[in-house]
Structure 1
């Protein structure tokens, strides 16, 4: 349920108050932009210098296949509201248009991400050359954060899922996991019924075209990370003639089903953890669990199964919380030192660093409250895939992957239970060529745990117009982390100049 998120950012900040955004513009009309400096203030404590933040909301049909999108009369309530944030530089000149942003997840807030990216290259944000030529448009996809959010999983249930044994080996333990998934599924089904399938990727891709029209662009310029690459690929298949430039960073292969996608992630996280282990052995001064990081982590998880360390507030660092601390640390190479310190401190009786890493991943605040990241994540993932593995098949995979991917495989297998027990029907996205679209830039990182590199050429090949750009680096996604990647992407976004065929950018 959790690891399949593949979130681009290791943590998502809580969403801000949306009252200042005004009434949502009806379908087909221009949004009513209003200044909203409170959004960056709430997220990071200040606005970036030299930029303006404006917010708006638009309405879209709940069901693009059959919804009316009407604002009066029959069907008037059959819309979702989509929250937008526009970042515009005071130094903007020779404006090309808008650059639409999605951070992945599914469940990540594009509004929040647009704020983070507005702070410029020195803070890991967008280069000035991009900020000066584009309005940056962040949007929260339907069901996410500020956009008619799907909210049906309690904080207690999320605590239960995250804290549970990542490899419930006995049938009794596995049955408890199934019971939790059934309770979550029933609660969400009781609240939303067959509306759950309307949070699908294809519906959101059609919302993206409504955003394109609302902001006044003839064609789409888009930057999608992780799951956002799936959104971009779906858009390119649905609206190939409306594509100007798409950057798909941290590529997802749309042809993978739930099982194949989960196995791919199990393989990717094992590979990333091996890279961490080699770093640890070679940098013992910065890695207190050297020389055998894997043995130290496995021992920490095993100990947490029988004797979890309790924090000052009484919270127990169970095996699940230790496991998700490991997951969280592998999304970026900078997390390696944090993980080593966290496991070392846990061994000395202090679980706080473990909780910090795990809570960052889970989007859990210090009071035990969650955003709707994983409500939306589950709803979207399960709406997208028609193939729901049986519980018997999941048990087989759990055993098989325990051998092949010992640290991550069992959790990726048992995570499939969430969709097996999910109600509401499905709405699969297309998986074909983007015939008629211009070249699309597809970026992969060789050490990416969440969207392993093998998916990058697969996505480019499927689209038929993909140009692969490779970063021989670590962590999840590449732009704008190194000059080589940044220069190639900027040239494509601004001038539509593709990087050389087969270009590989070196690690930092």
Structure 2
């Protein structure tokens, strides 16, 4: 998946050894430094207090084991941020937000993007988030391969990509030590439970977004009795093997493009005959012969970028520009942090022939590639077995997990939402937003936000099959 823009920072502190008889981790809150990592823009604003000022964010660090199988070994500092509930008398507890990516900063969300949460949630909950291990201020590891074109085109390129990736990872292991091999989501589940305990919460109230949903899913699987309420916004389906991952990611992007094409026809958009499918086919042909300044992969990134919001008007305008053979801005994808993603996903390819065959089978009507191609290529050569391999969920919680998903999501497609819903069974309920975009809490007329808020504050579970209008 293409992540939202992210900023990698230097490690918050060096790795050290934890004493054999260390006390349970605690949090010591202090005012956050004024230079927080910017968070993606969100609708809404911080809710003011009675004094007219929004509550100031507080920051802390939590010292945790690098390897939970060796709690007396090396440790790292997990960066945490909090905003206190505006109405202490009505406080319902602590809401922990799980950031996406992998690579998004949860501390930045609390410090500069608190408007993502409704006034009711800000009033009723202490809102807490963190930078997952290996991300942001939690000992960031900028070890993700960066390729202008992540697609491999020959056996020679395949072999070179494997060599380049492994050389980078060797350097990163030398630089960052054991944490590089323990940045997986299963380890972060243990971090999340330690954070819950340090916050003094007997059970977890959690809202995970995009890749943060994998953290919520695996937490509920490991600690079902410690779950109060978990929201999964744009859920990740971690049951997919290599072929399934590529095909389901391709389906999601094509489904979102089809929704754009219908909008284009209905609104008489500025494309020839208002036909987005025909215009896209022409652009792909132009890209292949070098007639425009974007490659076929660049076109994929452009589509993904504008379908994310979605911003259909900008996608149509960019396509019009390219059809007129005018240069268009190249969208720069933000790849997921490899130390996290490649520890979570086994996506092996024996050789180029298998790689090319799987990419060809994953092509759709319009789109030659999906964001899954970047993720798979990024992990070429990763050692097996991975730390947190794919599996079907086995969750049994007292309160069902609440899934929320747009009907047309280019990154966490509705196909993933349905698959996760089937895996959760009676331990999950899927609430569908009939519109489009990656993320749906603040989408539409307020129906989604009202349902999520009622669930988080009062454990009111929507009816199965419920749909919020676009």
Residue number among 240, 249, 268 corresponding to 2:224 in the alignment: 240
1:343 aligns with: 319
2:121 aligns with: 130
1:98 aligns with: 94
1:122 aligns with: none
2:350 aligns with: 390
CA distance in 2, matches of 1:336, 1:435: 40
1:63 aligns with: 67
Describe the shift of the 1:405–1:44 C-alpha distance in structure 2 as closer, same or farther (beyond 3 A). closer
Note the 1:14-413 alignment, pairs <5 A.
14=7, 28-36=24-32, 38-39=34-35, 48=46, 49-64=53-68, 66-68=69-71, 70=72, 75=73, 78-115=74-111, 117-119=113-115, 125-153=116-144, 158=146, 161=147, 163-164=148-149, 171=154, 175-176=156-157, 178-192=159-173, 196-285=180-269, 287-288=270-271, 291-307=274-290, 317-333=294-310, 335-348=311-324, 350-351=326-327, 354-355=329-330, 358-359=331-332, 361-362=333-334, 374=336, 376=337, 378-386=338-346, 388-391=348-351, 392-402=353-363, 404-409=364-369, 412-413=372-373
Describe the shift of the 1:145–1:424 C-alpha distance in structure 2 as closer, same or farther (beyond 3 A). farther
Shift of the alpha carbon at 1:497? 1.0
Q: How big is each residue's C-alpha offset from its partner over 1:393-412, in whole Å with a ceiling of 9 and x where there is no partner?
A: 2221122233x454144774
Equivalent pair of 1:32/1:56 in contact (CA under 8 Å)? yes
Shift of the alpha carbon at 1:441? 0.9
CA distance in 1, matches of 2:17, 2:359: 46
1:312 aligns with: none
Describe the shift of the 1:455–1:129 C-alpha distance in structure 2 as closer, same or farther (beyond 3 A). same
TM-score (norm 2): 0.85
Q: How big is each residue's C-alpha offset from its partner over 1:223-255, in whole Å with a ceiling of 9 and x where there is no partner?
A: 011221111010001111111100011122232
CA distance in 2, matches of 1:81, 1:103: 17
2:49 aligns with: none
SS of the equivalent of 1:137 reads strand
Equivalent pair of 1:280/1:289 in contact (CA under 8 Å)? no
SS of the equivalent of 1:454 reads helix
Q: Check if 1:495 corresponds to 2:455.
A: no
Shift of the alpha carbon at 1:259? 2.6
CA distance in 2, matches of 1:41, 1:106: 15
Describe the shift of the 1:292–1:92 C-alpha distance in structure 2 as closer, same or farther (beyond 3 A). farther
Residue number among 435, 455, 459 corresponding to 1:473 in the alignment: 435
CA distance in 1, matches of 2:28, 2:17: 8
Q: Check if 1:11 corresponds to 2:5.
A: yes
Equivalent pair of 1:196/1:383 in contact (CA under 8 Å)? no
Describe the shift of the 1:243–1:289 C-alpha distance in structure 2 as closer, same or farther (beyond 3 A). farther
Shift of the alpha carbon at 1:207? 0.7
The number of residue pairs the alignment matches comes to 449
SS of the equivalent of 1:467 reads strand
CA distance in 1, matches of 2:403, 2:98: 15
Describe the shift of the 1:496–1:419 C-alpha distance in structure 2 as closer, same or farther (beyond 3 A). same
TM-score (norm 1): 0.79
Shift of the alpha carbon at 1:445? 1.8
Shift of the alpha carbon at 1:135? 1.1
SS of the equivalent of 1:451 reads coil
CA distance in 1, matches of 2:216, 2:433: 20
SS of the equivalent of 1:235 reads helix
Equivalent pair of 1:330/1:449 in contact (CA under 8 Å)? yes
Q: How big is each residue's C-alpha offset from its partner over 1:249-293, in whole Å with a ceiling of 9 and x where there is no partner?
A: 1122232223312210101101111111121122235x3565222
Describe the shift of the 1:116–1:337 C-alpha distance in structure 2 as closer, same or farther (beyond 3 A). farther
CA distance in 2, matches of 1:301, 1:98: 49
Q: How big is each residue's C-alpha offset from its partner over 1:465-501, in whole Å with a ceiling of 9 and x where there is no partner?
A: 1112111111112112231111111111000111122
Q: How big is each residue's C-alpha offset from its partner over 1:187-214, in whole Å with a ceiling of 9 and x where there is no partner?
A: 1133217754311110011111111112
Higher mean alpha-carbon deviation, 412-421 vs 95-104, is at: 412-421
CA distance in 1, matches of 2:131, 2:23: 17
Equivalent pair of 1:165/1:318 in contact (CA under 8 Å)? no
SS of the equivalent of 1:113 reads helix
